[in-house]
Structure 1
């Protein structure tokens, strides 16, 4: 992936998407609190992310020219059901509340999907609003036999196959498979 990609922004506010760094984590978490409220840590998707590291090369942030983090998206390695179909879990996607509708979320999504495909991943799953994510190709068409490990709204479980047929026959509970965080790394990041 290119180190940095310029995205749509006003002349006053040029923005770019780049890989997340360890130094970005506090700003990212604060952004998630502002955009989603502190309850984002209690969502079912967090059960799949807790204690794990995002998939290699798939943690992105949107930055203002000053370097301030104004958007974030991460993808996580998972097994889609009991037959272990390898896939990614996308989320959370968040944008600074004062910059909503500026195209930042769309830019993050487009780059995340493109990078996942470039890295050879076969499918992406998320829990989100179908009308928003449909524009990126996500639907509930392949998730009817899949379940999250906790409470969630079934109609919000969406998927995008990057390779046709990648989720054929996928059924059961989605499980985390990504690399685990080492305790020393957690202490260093916080």
Structure 2
């Protein structure tokens, strides 16, 4: 299932070539590739990261685990875990991983845009939270939270905790431990 497709120009040896990015849902055939991608991008330390610990505790929303393909080859992956902070339901975005040899072609940003839009279509989703670089995520609609107010199951740099929400005050409202989505 393809959600979104864009063309992105890339300078090739033979001149200008248009490459096609597409986003689709993750499937069982992707699992080995995704595990290898995460190993290349994050190394063995990935198992101690906050996003991994949250996924371990709460799982992932299979409908919001996406793969970006470049000319029909997988190049990036994103996962989302349903969470609750301050009595509000949302998602934790992460990890976002792009093949190191295929970066700067727009696959990661396309995945983030697509997965955030799909998350906000889920009834009850108030926010999407992540730990990442503001310079990368701010143009995609993410802003800061108040430092050290959200309690993660592993250490995070509070300056890197970012949120996207329809309500501009969400970054100031989130406070407390990350818990499971409340139905």
TM-score interval (norm. to shorter):
0.7 to 0.9
CA distance in structure 1 between the partners assigned to 2:144 and 2:172 by the alignment:
13
* Richer in strand (by share): 2
Report the CA distance between 1:168 and its aligned residue. 6.0
**Is 1:111 the counterpart of 2:110 in the alignment?**
no
Report the CA distance between 1:3 and its aligned residue. 3.1
CA distance in structure 2 between the partners assigned to 1:130 and 1:73 by the alignment:
18
Alignment of 1:86-165 (within 5 A): 86-120=89-123, 121-141=125-145, 145-163=149-167
Moved more, 104-113 or 28-37: 28-37
Report the CA distance between 1:124 and its aligned residue. 0.4
CA contact (8 A) 1:79 1:175 kept: yes
Alignment gaps of 5+ in structure 1: 179-190
TM-score (norm 2): 0.83
Moved more, 36-45 or 89-98: 36-45
CA distance in structure 1 between the partners assigned to 2:38 and 2:95 by the alignment:
8
Report the CA distance between 1:156 and its aligned residue. 0.9
Q: Residue 13 of structure 2 aligns with which residue?
A: none
SS of residue matched to 1:158:
strand
- 1:95-126 CA distance string (max 9 Å, x none): 11011111111111111111112223220000
CA contact (8 A) 1:8 1:103 kept: no
Alignment gaps of 5+ in structure 2: 10-16
Report the CA distance between 1:22 and its aligned residue. 1.7
SS of residue matched to 1:92:
strand
**Is 1:8 the counterpart of 2:7 in the alignment?**
yes
Aligned to 2:66, which of 60, 65, 84? 60
TM-score (norm 1): 0.80
RMSD (CA atoms) = 2.3
Report the CA distance between 1:44 and its aligned residue. 1.8
